[in-house]
A and B are shown apart, each in its own frame.
Chain A
Amino acid sequence: MTIWMRIVWIAVLPIVALLISVFFMGLSRKVIARVQRRYGPPIYQPVIDLVKLFTQHSNISHGMIFDMGLIIALAGSLVTLLFIPVGGIHPLSSSGDLLVLIYLMLISPIGVALSAGASGNPNASIGISRKLTLALGYEVPFLLVLLTVMTQGGTTSLVSFVQGQSTSILSWGLFRFPLSAIAMFLILPVMLGIRPFDIAGAPQEIASGPQVEFGGKYLALASIEHGLHLFIVIALFVDLFLGGAANLGTFFLKMLLVFLIGVFIGAVYPRFRIDQALKYCWKWPTLFALLGLILVMIIGS
């Protein structure tokens, strides 16, 4: 990639990601409605919601940290996005970007936590504590999976790892280390924060958790941040285990497949309690990830 192409993609990729994630959110609402035998909203309903939120007359702020936290979260998501190869496009990737990703992915939860904490609402505090507890739960198997990937691929560069999978379907991560793929798939809904694991933002229990004091533009920014997070996690899964893709179309098709499986699971399951979720995270996904790592190390040596 030439330097000019990189600059163009740095500007364009966030917009593409935003459009795709808005489409995903609309699709998930429609699919959930159909699973529950409802007609459901039109597929562009999130666009209407975002337009409404951005054009609302009054936006209630709770101080500077409240404003800045959301911006930090959004910036964190945007930067993380630029490090992930999306169908052959990787504007900021270089060697060692898998390690950079691990750190960058922490910025946006911290930004939301700052912003929600500044609102002073007790429901927001409970939501944040649940969110960070959940992060504690999924970080263990997630890091083990990444360690497996780095050990087996012999590289910390996501781009060269994706290129290594492009020879045939059997060279996909899914077939090279199936145990890690299972572990990553099991923690996918936890990382996305969708049903059965939408514990942090449970509307019925803690009035939508960290978002409780967000209204108007704040809520719009928070939902954009959520959408980008959705995009990042699913794109990472596709890059690691489904072989990435040579062009954008195939890549988004693979993302859609992964997302729809998650939505179907979410549409029929009720929410877990936080202790059940933590127990789940540290039991099966961790076990699979650990076995996968051991297997890869034995075979590798």
Chain B
Amino acid sequence: MDRADIKKALKDPHKWGEKYSLWATYFCTGCGIMEIPPVLTARWDAERFGVKPMATPRQSNLFLITGYVSIKTLRAIILSYEQMPDPKYTVAFGSCPIDGGLYHTSYNTVNHLDRYLPIDGWIAGCMPRPEAIFIAVTKLWKMIDGEMVDGYKRYRENIDYYRRNQERVLGKEFIDSIPASTMVKP
């Protein structure tokens, strides 16, 4: 951790800020509500790393999607993601966002989340331990250093692909209902 390295911070203040001030919106769609709160409170204390829960997507730049994604919650996930200011990082937590996990045969589960949103990191497991969040955060720091996290740029570049997939699952009405202020322009 080079958080106290003043020379490096002055050289690239933007990167310094992005790395050590990850404010999280956590989207507990079902599972994960057991794992995330201990991470943020006294047991594991994510505030050591500058990770802080934020009440609204407008203020946060780390999006934690935990547990399985149903079609109904995908709607809210997309709307929340588009409200977050750039640069933003998404981390999918658990097996279900990767391939549907336990629920992969269900008619109502979205099996591959990365077809609808760009995901920067995956934490596999059902469920992963809370420590996995810290491993993810430190990994994210390395990726920000090497400029390897480009999810929000990919989303902008391939917006047609993502919109097509979103429309197939959620219907044309959903795409039309996205407010113009949050709409991502290619």
Which residues in A have some Cβ–Cβ distance to B below 8 Å? 29, 33, 36-42, 45, 48-49, 51-60, 62, 123, 203-204, 207-208, 211-216, 219
CB < 8 Å neighbour of B45 from A40, A54, A123, A204: A40
Q: Is B141 an interface residue (CB 8 A)?
A: no
Whether B48 contacts A40 by the Cβ 8 Å rule is yes
Distance between A116 CB and nearest chain B CB, rounded to angstroms: 12
Q: Which of A51, A216, A219 has the most CB of B within 10 A?
A: A51
Whether B87 contacts A57 by the Cβ 8 Å rule is yes
Q: Which of B14-43 contact A (CB under 8 A)?
A: 14, 16-18, 20-21, 23, 41-42
Interface size class of B (residues with CB under 8 A): 20 to 34
> Known interface pairs A41-B50, A57-B87. Does A215 touch B45 (Cβ–Cβ under 8 Å)?
no
Distance between A34 CB and nearest chain B CB, rounded to angstroms: 11
Distance between B82 CB and nearest chain A CB, rounded to angstroms: 10
Closest A residue to B4 by beta carbon equals: A42
Whether B48 contacts A57 by the Cβ 8 Å rule is no
Whether B85 contacts A38 by the Cβ 8 Å rule is no
Distance between A111 CB and nearest chain B CB, rounded to angstroms: 19
Q: Is B167 an interface residue (CB 8 A)?
A: no
Q: Is B58 an interface residue (CB 8 A)?
A: yes
Q: Is B56 an interface residue (CB 8 A)?
A: yes
CB < 8 Å neighbour of A62 from B41, B85, B181: B181
Q: Which residues of B contact A49 (CB under 8 A)?
A: 17, 21, 23, 50
CB < 8 Å neighbour of B59 from A38, A42, A45, A211: A211
4 further A-B contacts with Cβ under 8 Å, apart from A48-B50, A123-B56, are A39-B48, A48-B3, A58-B86, A212-B56
Whether B85 contacts A60 by the Cβ 8 Å rule is yes
Q: Is B55 an interface residue (CB 8 A)?
A: yes
> Known interface pairs A38-B42, A57-B87. Does A45 touch B50 (Cβ–Cβ under 8 Å)?
yes
CB < 8 Å neighbour of B21 from A29, A36, A52, A204: A52
Q: Is B13 an interface residue (CB 8 A)?
A: yes
CB < 8 Å neighbour of A55 from B17, B42, B56, B182: B17
CB < 8 Å neighbour of A215 from B55, B59, B87: B59
Q: Which of B39-79 contact A (CB under 8 A)?
A: 41-42, 45, 47-48, 50, 53-56, 58-59, 61
Q: How far is the CA of A36 from the CA of B20 in the complex (A)?
A: 22
Whether A214 contacts B58 by the Cβ 8 Å rule is yes
Distance between A110 CB and nearest chain B CB, rounded to angstroms: 22
Whether A52 contacts B181 by the Cβ 8 Å rule is no
